[in-house]
Amino acid sequence: MNLMETIRVSMNSLTTNKMRSFLTILGIIIGVAAVIAIMAIGNGSKASIKEEIDKLGNNVLMVAPAMPMTEEEVIVSNLASFTWADIEALEQKKSIDALMPNITSNSKATWGRYNYNATIVGTSASFYKVKKVSFAEGRTFTNDEMDKRMNVAVLESQAVQRLFGGDTQNVLGRTFQVKQIPFKVIGVLDTQPVTNLSYGSDDQIYIPATTMMNRLGEKNIVTLDVSAKSPALMDQAHSDILESLRVTHQLKPSEPDQFQVTSLSEAVGAAFGVDKIMSNLLGGVAAISLVVGGIGIMNIMMVSVIERTREIGIRKAIGAKPRDIMIQFLSEAVIFGLMGGILGVVTGIAASKIIEATSHMAIQFTVSPIIYSFLSSAGTGILFGVYPAYKAASLKPIDALRYE
């Protein structure tokens, strides 16, 4: 029997009982579809994060107090905080372009009958450079306003909407209140693109850090975002930050750093690591589905051997060799796997598109997971079809013909 005839006979056998065949390959379909969907979501997530890093800037460093690593350190730890002297010293470094100290407070902002619970951020005049945003109207704080602790504010676009209701024209110069303290609007930021790595939710209010400390009573500079002059100077900026902070905090050479410096790339690298672990775990679950599908193929092929015992006896009686019988049953198992692979690929792509449309998650397909999943399904058919094919090929003609 030639190859085409073998395939034709195998397909005829599989289509005799369509429902049984479909249920047999269901595990393969689920496994392949899961692998493709998981990889598409993972690749899309990585591409989305990379795009967001490019938007936010690949020259931004985040500085925070060093967290204690051991139980003993937790007991004796007293987390350092930034001072204004730290900011002034860092501004002198040639590798640093801009600084954004962060002093945050959640307070009610009020204008007439309108109010909302705003995130007030005390920061520096150059904060917008670190955030990579521009002004739709107005300007940032001046050094004089910083020094004199003046009550001036820059609003994000959504803050304008929430604070002034429908009256969003000519907001510059208006005065609103935070904790019954009046603040004058001197600038409005452009609408920011929505990203997973964005600072806040586009409805924050920025005031001078000096005003935040002295008027609103918030003293702690929680974190510090630093923009290096170029990506090439990231390492230099990293060293300059730690060196400057050691000097301003008067640390001895034997004492550890009180602050830790992290780049967006490092933070995202850690996120990628977690994402890879989760993808591997979910991929393992999908692999289990392939094994379950393979067991289903083996089971149905064993049933097929029993049902077609007399057919096998007749074929052997008229000259079919054990190799021919084995190839026929093995080809049926492989076709089971391939059919499951094809339907799994289609299902995986369709499921990914549905997820993308309903959850707005980024999806990115690559060829390799589709090829690997398809080959795995074929391999599953071969692996779990060998034993039933061997059992069929090893039947003795006389015993097979006597089978009732």
Q: What is the band of 208 on the pLDDT scale with cuts at 50, 70, 90?
A: very high
Task: Give dist(CA 312, CA 393) in Å, integer.
Answer: 8
Q: What is the band of 205 on the pLDDT scale with cuts at 50, 70, 90?
A: very high
38-76 CB burial, b ≥16 within 10 A, e <16: bbbbbbbbbebbeebbeebbebbbbbbbeeeeeeeeeee
Q: What is the band of 177 on the pLDDT scale with cuts at 50, 70, 90?
A: very high
pLDDT of residue 89: 92
Least confident span in 146-150, 169-173, 383-387:
383-387
Q: What is the band of 188 on the pLDDT scale with cuts at 50, 70, 90?
A: very high
pLDDT exceeding 90 applies to what percent of the chain? 25
pLDDT of residue 81: 78
Cβ distance 268 to 196 under 8 Å? no
Least confident span in 32-41, 47-56, 241-250, 338-347:
47-56
User: Half-sphere exposure of 259 toward its Cβ, with a 13 Å CA cutoff?
Assistant: 29
Q: Which residue has the higher pLDDT, 211 or 361?
A: 211
Q: Which residue has the higher pLDDT, 53 or 197?
A: 53
Q: Which residue has the higher pLDDT, 49 or 23?
A: 23
Whole-number average pLDDT of the chain: 82
Q: Could you give the residue ranges of the DSSP H alpha helices within 216-321?
A: 234-248, 264-307, 309-317
Q: Residue type at 112?
A: G
Place of tokens 């195998």: 10
Q: Which residue has the higher pLDDT, 175 or 196?
A: 175
Task: Give dist(CA 347, CA 33) in Å, integer.
Answer: 6
**SS3 state of residue 171:** coil
Which whole number is the average pLDDT over 250-259? 87
pLDDT of residue 118: 92
pLDDT of residue 207: 95
pLDDT of residue 357: 84
Enter the pTM of the model: 0.59
Which whole number is the average pLDDT over 203-225? 89
Task: Give dist(CA 84, CA 90) in Å, integer.
Answer: 10
Q: Which residue has the higher pLDDT, 400 or 348?
A: 348
Task: Give dist(CA 248, CA 82) in Å, integer.
Answer: 10
pLDDT beyond 60 at 76:
no
pLDDT of residue 125: 92
pLDDT beyond 60 at 34:
yes
pLDDT beyond 80 at 348:
yes
pLDDT of residue 239: 92
Q: What is the band of 195 on the pLDDT scale with cuts at 50, 70, 90?
A: very low
Q: What is the band of 151 on the pLDDT scale with cuts at 50, 70, 90?
A: very high
pLDDT beyond 80 at 261:
yes
133: left (phi over 0), alpha (psi -120 to 50) or beta: beta
Cβ distance 187 to 155 under 8 Å? yes
pLDDT of residue 174: 94
Q: Which residue has the higher pLDDT, 248 or 268?
A: 248
Cβ distance 138 to 187 under 8 Å? yes
pLDDT exceeding 70 applies to what percent of the chain? 83
Which whole number is the average pLDDT over 96-118? 91
